[in-house]
Chains A and B, each alone.
Chain A
């Protein structure tokens, strides 16, 4: 099955710093999502980005489907950005509705 790897696994930032998180996937995909899991466990949709670039406030994402990677940019980080960031792609067969989640990047933003 498709493999999804994220880097770095852990990241510690000072408030105000910028960061780039990477998601590599082993096979072609027709969609990709980025999520933020906050310290309370909730999974927050950030982007649905099968290709191209999208921006939402301080966050932006770029997916290069032909090269099988996606990047999530966080600018001017805040303590509320802390948590785990996941990318996810569809599993085999569209009917299963299954998402394959990456290994995650644990982000800690210090004041």
Chain B
């Protein structure tokens, strides 16, 4: 089954404790992205990647890092989380061309 998976699905952490949210897709897609969703602000793109070792900032990259060492994986790293990063995070992927973009199940993060 074609899918995007994220882990963990729920996470409570404390300010400053480094964390990684993993994302994996099994569709051999070139493009991958991370979004965050906040009430009143909608979904905003954090980072995106066009292929292995090619990443770039989206609209709200501050406080986040990403890497794309393998085509299927695109982890999101919060080096020093802060309470304003409490949010619902989505990973997404699509192939080349203007095709369907597939979203992961989401990760709810609470930073205390």
A residues with a Cβ closer than 8 A to B are: 30-31, 33, 35, 41-43, 45, 48, 50, 88, 90-91, 94-99, 101, 103-104
Report which of A95, A99, A103, A104 forms a contact with B101, defined as CB distance below 8 A: A99
B106 with A48: CB separation less than 8 A: no
Query: When A98-B45, A101-B43 are in contact, do A43 and B94 touch as well, CB less than 8 Å?
Result: no
Contact indicator per residue, chain B 93-112, by CB within 8 Å of chain A (1) or not (0): 01000111111011010000
Query: When A94-B98, A95-B50 are in contact, do A101 and B103 touch as well, CB less than 8 Å?
Result: no
Residues of A contacting B101 in the complex (Cβ-Cβ under 8 angstroms): 33, 88, 97, 99
Residues of A contacting B48 in the complex (Cβ-Cβ under 8 angstroms): 96-98
Which secondary structure characterizes the binding site on chain A? mixed
Q: How far is the CA of A96 from the CA of B59 in the complex (A)?
A: 10
Contact indicator per residue, chain B 16-31, by CB within 8 Å of chain A (1) or not (0): 0000000000000001
Residues of A contacting B88 in the complex (Cβ-Cβ under 8 angstroms): 41
Query: When A41-B106, A42-B105 are in contact, do A98 and B33 touch as well, CB less than 8 Å?
Result: yes
- The residue in A45, A48, A99 that gathers the most chain B C-beta atoms within 10 A of its C-beta is A99
A90 with B33: CB separation less than 8 A: no
B106 with A103: CB separation less than 8 A: no
Residues of A contacting B92 in the complex (Cβ-Cβ under 8 angstroms): 97, 99
Q: How far is the CA of A90 from the CA of B94 in the complex (A)?
A: 12
Q: How far is the CA of A94 from the CA of B102 in the complex (A)?
A: 16
B106 with A30: CB separation less than 8 A: no
Which chain B residues in 46-76 approach chain A with CB under 8 Å?
Answer: 48, 50, 56, 58-59
Report which of B50, B59, B98, B103 forms a contact with A50, defined as CB distance below 8 A: B98
- The residue in A43, A94, A103 that gathers the most chain B C-beta atoms within 10 A of its C-beta is A43
Residues of B contacting A103 in the complex (Cβ-Cβ under 8 angstroms): 42
- The residue in A31, A91, A98 that gathers the most chain B C-beta atoms within 10 A of its C-beta is A98
